[in-house]
Amino acid sequence: MLVPASVSDYRLLAQRRLPKAFFDYIDGGAYNELTLAANRSDLDALKLHQRVLRGACNIDTATTVLGQKLAQPLVLGPVGLAGLYARRGEVQAARAAQAAAVPFCLSTVSICSIEEVSAAGTVPFWFQLYVIRDRGYATELLARARAAGCTTLVFTVDLPVFATRYRDVRNGMTGGAGPLGRLAKLWDIVSHTGWLIDVPIGGKPLTFGNLAQAVPSARSLEAMKGWVDAQFDPGVTWKDLDWVRQNWPGHIVVKGVLDVDDARSAAEVGASAVIVSNHGGRQLDGAPSAISVLPRIRDAVGERLEILMDGGIRSGQDVAKALASGAKAVMLGRSWAYGLAARGEQGVAEILAILKRELEVTMTLLGVERVGDIGAGALDR
């Protein structure tokens, strides 16, 4: 490939550059990957409604999400372990987001800490928190995020337990590999020299920046999975959102909602927004695609909450389909992770530029000049 043209091209570049285990960690989903596939196939099945001769020549992709001006309707969503895909990966991605005037959301399980991202001059970024048992630790994380200038908290609620991802098990990412398996893992690492020099050699320290005391090493998923198994709390209820509210004065965005009543509960507990999401097909395998439930969530709570959506967004056309189905903006997961793994900050910047250009062209062909005008009529029924 001489010049990558699309997000799927960056996926291929990422596949070449990363050890197989890390590529599969990004690319894969839970169990039989049915929901992962549905996120894509349901987006593909939607048809856009072409309009002609409408004089759509002043295309503007800018929008406002939670009072923040965005150059295009998307956010770099929380992606754990990004500092393992490229050297100090979260800082690189946050810089690309800042340059493209879209928000970056830092995962709880990032390699770079809140402070490192903040020191790179990338404020205000968003911070994502998982529901963890150790409330003292969580309170401390929220205080750190506030001190770093984060305005928006993404509270992820669809990971009360860690669903099995068969690819990670087979690759020995979650332990269990015998001596031969460990040798194969080592070969997987050392045979990807570009990545080896960039990340394990040049990208130290490879620790979970926000959880350094809790999880000493980020060298395998095993340590993180152990922490998740011990710390993630399936007993959490909507009442626990009171605790979040007490500790977070800014916007709270509930991530991982697929049900209308859950979306209503999010509104009742004072969330500013929900993210319609199945965690990119990485949790409940068999759950519907995010795009397919989006319209009914919009109908139920669209007046009370801002609605974001993620899952399968790989093009500007997908962004338009999500907006037409009721989202104010989308979150990117794998799309930016592929860009980062392929080419670092430049790769993320290129992904953002591709999506923006694709959205501009799509808007012209839909005959709309403002993203706010991409309504249900943009879909061909």
Ligand X SMILES: Cc1cc2nc3c(=O)[nH]c(=O)nc-3n(C[C@H](O)[C@H](O)[C@H](O)COP(=O)(O)O)c2cc1C
> Minimum distance between the CB of residue 157 and ligand X, rounded to whole angstroms?
9
Q: Within a 10 A sphere around the Cβ of 367, how many other Cβ atoms?
A: 17
Question: What's the min distance (Å) between Cβ of 275 and ligand X?
Answer: 7
List interacting residues with ligand X (CB under 6 A): 25-26, 39, 77-80, 107-109, 128, 156, 255, 277, 279-280, 282, 310-313, 332-335, 337
Nearer to ligand X, 156 or 315 (CB): 156
By beta carbon distance, the residue nearest ligand X is 333
279 catalytic residue (yes or no):
yes
Contact 323, 378 (CB under 8 A): yes
The residues facing 284 across adjacent strands are none
Quickly list DSSP for 130-149: E-BS-HHHHHHHHHHHHHTT
Amino acid symbol at 362: T
The single residue of 49, 192, 251, 279 carrying the catalytic annotation is: 279
State the amino acid at position 48 in one-letter form: L
Nearer to ligand X by Cβ, of 76 and 368: the residue is 76
- The one-letter code for the residue type at 110 is S
CA distance 233 to 172: 25
Q: What residues are paired with 172 via a beta bridge?
A: none
CB of 155 to ligand X, least distance (A): 9
Residue 307's DSSP bridge partners are 274
Q: Whole-number minimum distance, CB 279 to ligand X, in Å? A: 5
Smallest distance from ligand X to CB 313, Å: 5
Query: 39 vs 368, which CB is nearer to ligand X?
Result: 39
Give the closest residue to 153 by CA, choosing from 100, 220, 197, 108. Answer: 108
**Closer residue to ligand X, CB minimum distance, 344 or 368:** 344
Report the residue number, 25 or 248, with the smaller CB distance to ligand X: 25
Which distant-in-sequence residues (6+ apart) come within 8 Å of 87 by Cβ? 198, 199, 202, 203, 344
Catalytic positions: 279
